[in-house]
Amino acid sequence: MVGSGFQTKSEKYGVVDISEVITSSDFAKNQKENLRTVGQTRQDLLQFANTYPLFTPEQAQKFRDLSIKPQPTAADKAELEKLKNDVIATHKKFQDLQLKANPTTEQVTLLRDYNERSQTMVKTLDRWAREFSDEIQTLQDKLRQETMNRATDAVKEVGQKQGYSVVYMQDVVPYAANNITADALKAMNSKK
């Protein structure tokens, strides 16, 4: 009794479930959605270019730039649509030429050009896939770190305001009379 009296007076311990703070926070939910959008955009881009690989290098660069633009304007969207239609038309032309029994010299030259574009695009797509994968990994790491930092800041804020000596992770201290998880979540959500 005497001991716990001294302890209560001088020290205040709490626990927090930081995973719960992170996963339930508005910030983490938004970041997860952003990450999903970034991944989907790049996946769609690669899928299209893989289906219709007859881009010129200039078209390929423009296609990439416009496709991954974070907030494309109406003009950007129209330009991208036109570019895609051009590439689809080239692809159709390529298929028609391949079926020709006796192509003319010009047609043979065009076929060769299309083949070169296709080969170049295979390498380009390989590089893009690697770059996108790195980009998404970096973004994921950054968002994870940012979310963790925000959650830790929220725990610190609550811990300090409520006069705790130490706040432990619930993983290592499964129970404490004082649990600040809900307060920390509230503090994290209050920051925009």
Partner 1 sequence: MNKFSKLGWIVAAALGGIWLASGFQDSANKIAVVDISDVVEKSNYGKTNQDTFAKMKKAREDLLQFIDDYRVLNAEQAQDLKDLSLKDNPTAEDKAKVDRIKADVIASNKKWNELSTKATLTPEDRTLLDDYARRGQNMEAVARRWFNDFTNEMQAWADKQKADSISKARVAIQKVAKAQGYTIVFEVGIAPYGANDLTDASLQAMNAGS
CB of 9 to partner 1, least distance (A): 9
Q: Which lies closer to partner 1 via its Cβ, residue 85 or residue 160?
A: 160
What is the Cα–Cα distance from 56 to 117, expressed in whole angstroms?
Answer: 6
CB of 42 to partner 1, least distance (A): 19
Radius of gyration of the chain (CA): 28
Q: Which lies closer to partner 1 via its Cβ, residue 29 or residue 130?
A: 130
Q: Which lies closer to partner 1 via its Cβ, residue 64 or residue 66?
A: 64
Q: What residue has token string 């990994």?
A: 137
Residues 6+ apart with CB under 8 A from 185: 20, 21, 24, 25, 154
Tally of CB atoms within 10 A around 66 = 19
Q: Read off the tokens for 8.
A: 């209560």
**Binding stretches for partner 1 (CB under 8 A):** 1-7, 10-11, 16, 18, 112, 116, 123, 126-127, 152, 155-156, 158-160, 164-169, 172
CB of 27 to partner 1, least distance (A): 17
